[in-house]
Amino acid sequence: MPLSEQNRTSVDVFKRERYHAPEQWYDRDGEPFSPQTNYAVGGNTKIYAAALMRMRDRDFEAVQYQAALSPEWPIKYSDLEPHYSEAEQLYQVHGNMSADPTEPEHSQGYPHGPVEYGEVMAGPVAAIAAKGFHPTALPLSLTGQDDDPTGDAEIFGIEAALQFENVTLKPRPEPWRSIPIPLAKRLKP
Ligand SMILES: Cc1cc2nc3c(=O)[nH]c(=O)nc-3n(C[C@H](O)[C@H](O)[C@H](O)COP(=O)(O)OP(=O)(O)OC[C@H]3O[C@@H](n4cnc5c(N)ncnc54)[C@H](O)[C@@H]3O)c2cc1C
């Protein structure tokens, strides 16, 4: 996917739906919608914001929301922790573990320190901190390359895998067809 300004601007990504697939999916009530999903090598990480936050311990517990109960997970944060650490190394995450009191235990630190706030953010961050809150920089996956700054599954996953002799990336088969959704699922009950 070529790097362009429209890959980042919220008006293109969200309002003009630049990265919504040109197909219709159907919600559980049978209402059609255009999915915000991207078919490319690297999947949706080619258009994501590269903010790689860990879930918190309590996200795995039962949480009663106003609308419904989010049930307890069969696994806990501690089951995923080693994988978060491995993924953060792979994705070259820049972050800060100490500023946010809800940050869960890390067995390994982020490979890089946080991205410093730009001028626009420095004022609001200081004002929020002065109120006793804990603003912190989002953990970001960054490549260090000017021409492709955010880390994604192509750069850190596919390209790394292609270094092995027994790994090949095959072009997509033609004709490319999405899996048809049975008509019954498209109809309202
Ligand atoms: C605008 C946007 C911003 C986001 N920002 C963040 C963020 O900052 N932080 C974060 O953690 N997450 C973010 N996400 C979510 C994140 O991108 C996804 O959760 C993640 O990419 C999912 O990875 P996946 O491998 O499960 O699926 P995908 O990334 O969707 O990959 C699926 C792959 O399968 C391929 N595929 C699909 N159908 C077929 C088929 N029939 N045959 C062969 N291949 C097929 C697709 O082309 C794609 O490459 C964002 C998502 C979007 C859309």
From CA 6, how far away is CA 16, in angstroms rounded? 10
d(CA 25, CA 183): 12
- Measured CA to CA, the distance from residue 151 to residue 184 in angstroms comes to 40
**What distance in angstroms lies between residue 158's CA and the mean position of ligand 1's atoms?**
14
Distance 123 CA to ligand 1 centre (A): 34
Please give the pLDDT value at position 177: 55
pTM of the model: 0.86
Mean pLDDT split into 10-residue runs, the chain, 189 residues? 75 85 91 88 88 96 94 98 98 94 95 93 94 94 90 94 94 60 45
Q: Best of 34, 44, 176 to mutate for ligand 1, by most ligand atoms within 8 A of CB?
A: 44
* 3-class secondary-structure state, position 175: coil
Q: Identify the pLDDT of residue 182.
A: 47
